[in-house]
Amino acid sequence: MSAYFIAGTDTEIGKTFSTCALLHAARTRGLRAVGMKPIAAGAEMINGEFLNEDAARLRAAGSFDPGLALLNPYCLASPIAPHIAAAEEDVSIDPSKIDAALQALRAQAELVLVEGVGGFRVPLGDDFDTADWAQHLALPVILVVGMKLGCISHALLTAEAIQARGLRLAGWIANQVDPAMLRFEQNLESLSRRLPAPLLGVLPFRTDHDAAAAASAAGLKLPD
């Protein structure tokens, strides 16, 4: 029963897209796989459900629908920093609630991908952030690097922060968020030499957000 924490170098760099691609890659290998978005900020009422877009995409990409109570235990309304949204909505984020949902998912799936919020150190309360949360979960980490100007420094700093928490960086994904990025190959090579983990795949830029097609085109691998 494997599980990984999906971290990103920043917000809006394709963590959900990459997580969905990994789910599709796992399913093509015959694994019963499911995604989890424990904390999401930004939601609307759709068909009687208070639904976050990222959570909806993960639900569609998984092998089964575990229900939003397990897939997305904390769904905040405003698309803003989660600690601010939580304070405005009088919500206290309790790690034990996330632990219980994750344990339930691990009992149902062979692979669970737990997607973080924004970058690696996003506040979740007055004295608790996503790095604390990842350290608490103690899962190996897959890092999503949004390939754009500045990504090398962002990726290396995030990798250092992950390792400083005593966590294992199991692999990283290069996501082509900027199709016009200059010197893409040189940046990719620089990251490959410097990041202390294997490159699992390079996800191509897609305007249709088809994660299954991206995973297939990239020959996306799962961590060892």
Residues with catalytic function = 37
Torsion of CA 2, 224, 214, 169, to 10 degrees: 80
Tell me, what DSSP letter sits at residue 196? S
Query: What is the distance in angstroms between the CA of the first residue and the CA of the last residue of the chain?
Result: 14
Rounded CA gap, 196 and 162, in Å?
Answer: 11
Neighbours of 22 (CB within 10 A): 31
DSSP 127-146: TEEHHHHHHHHT--EEEEEE
Rounded CA gap, 187 and 191, in Å?
Answer: 6
Residue written as token pair 């690696």: 120
Where residue 162 falls (left for φ over 0; alpha for ψ -120 to 50; beta otherwise) is alpha
Rounded CA gap, 211 and 19, in Å?
Answer: 9
Do 130 and 124 contact (CB within 8 A), yes or no? Answer: yes
